[in-house]
């Protein structure tokens, strides 16, 4: 008889990696590259300007040696990767509190730590929820606190209910007055992977997506969906400063599908979403704005 699998929580009972501190000067180059990726007519910020919310994801990048990557393109081992067998990773969402925006061209310190480790029983088996906390400081001031929620499983669960064929013509029905449309192709996904040092094969290796992961096509990055929702705020309320934001990634979107990011603002906050013709809420986000006098 095969051995009974150990509970997923048993692998992390004594796993408590310590914090790590890194530095980056926030060179304007990545902001220019992302602006070009989004087909903007000009770079959104230069030296001394505020970094848009969540654009810290294009900094503090690590480029590991090739032999450090697993078969799926992810790192085999890293400080905040839980020591569970046949580890599978899903980015679930996160939160961000912005006391003051980070400024481009200024020395910046990031302290990363493990905030929570929570085993849970999901519909498809045991899951391990990891929350990583990051604190960003400039000139000794705490400017931004970010938390990311990552879900892990040991081994593969049942394949999700993904479409067998993709429709590249159908569009979503709009709900809010703020609207942004995008039809990501493999080139865009490749460029976003490069800008975030993300080697996960689901974003560029179509045979791997279909044959190994069970997806009908290349998967659009969850962080790209979150950034598209925040781009609605940057374009439609440029005078408002984001104080807090939270987002949740619910269902994958695939290359070639027509994405609609839309939302609306009221009473000092904004509700945002990512939709396609087949799903009204692939991702959702909520933003609160700083008071006018802040």
SS3 23: strand
| Mean per-residue pLDDT pooled into runs of 10, the chain (294 residues) | 72 93 97 97 96 98 95 92 90 97 98 95 85 98 98 76 89 96 97 97 96 94 98 96 97 97 96 97 97 64
- φ and ψ of 154, to 5 deg: -100, 110
pLDDT at 105: 97
Burial group, residue 201, by CB count within 10 angstroms (0-12, 13-18, 19+)? buried
pTM of the model: 0.94
CA dihedral 248, 77, 128, 117 (to 10 degrees): -90
Q: Which residues of 177-196 are buried (b: 16+ CB within 10 A; e: fewer)?
A: ebebebebeeebbeebbebb
What whole-number distance in Å separates Cα of residue 253 and Cα of residue 282? Answer: 7
pLDDT at 291: 84
pLDDT at 1: 44
Q: In sequence order, what DSSP letters do the residues of 214-238 get, joined into one string?
A: --SSPBPPHHHHHHHHHHHHHHH-T
């Amino acid at each position: 008889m095969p051995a009974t699998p150990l509970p997923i929580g048993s692998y992390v009972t004594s796993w408590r990696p310590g914090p790590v501190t890194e530095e980056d000067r926030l060179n304007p180059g990545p902001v220019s590259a992302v602006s070009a990726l989004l087909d903007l007519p000009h770079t959104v910020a230069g030296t001394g300007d505020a970094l848009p919310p969540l654009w810290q994801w294009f900094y503090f990048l690590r480029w590991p040696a090739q032999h450090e990557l697993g078969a799926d393109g992810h790192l085999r081992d890293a400080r905040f990767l839980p020591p569970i067998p046949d580890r599978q990773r899903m980015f679930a969402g996160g939160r961000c509190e912005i006391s003051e925006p980070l400024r481009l061209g200024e020395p910046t310190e990031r302290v990363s730590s493990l905030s929570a480790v929570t085993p849970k029983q999901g519909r498809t088996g045991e899951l391990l929820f990891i929350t990583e906390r990051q604190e960003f400081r400039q000139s000794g001031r705490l400017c931004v606190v970010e938390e990311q929620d990552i879900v892990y499983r040991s081994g593969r669960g049942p394949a999700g209910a993904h479409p067998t064929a993709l429709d590249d013509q159908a569009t979503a029905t709009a709900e809010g007055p703020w609207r942004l449309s995008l039809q990501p192709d493999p080139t865009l996904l490749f460029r976003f992977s490069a800008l975030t040092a993300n080697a996960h094969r689901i974003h560029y290796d179509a045979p791997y997506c279909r044959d190994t992961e069970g997806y009908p096509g290349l998967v659009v990055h969850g962080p790209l969906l979150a950034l598209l929702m925040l781009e609605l705020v940057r374009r439609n309320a440029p005078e408002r400063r984001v104080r807090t934001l939270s987002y949740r990634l619910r269902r994958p979107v695939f290359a070639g599908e027509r994405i609609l990011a839309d939302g609306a603002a009221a009473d000092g906050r904004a509700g945002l979403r990512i939709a396609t013709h087949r799903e009204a809420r692939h991702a959702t986000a909520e933003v609160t704005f700083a008071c006018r006098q802040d």
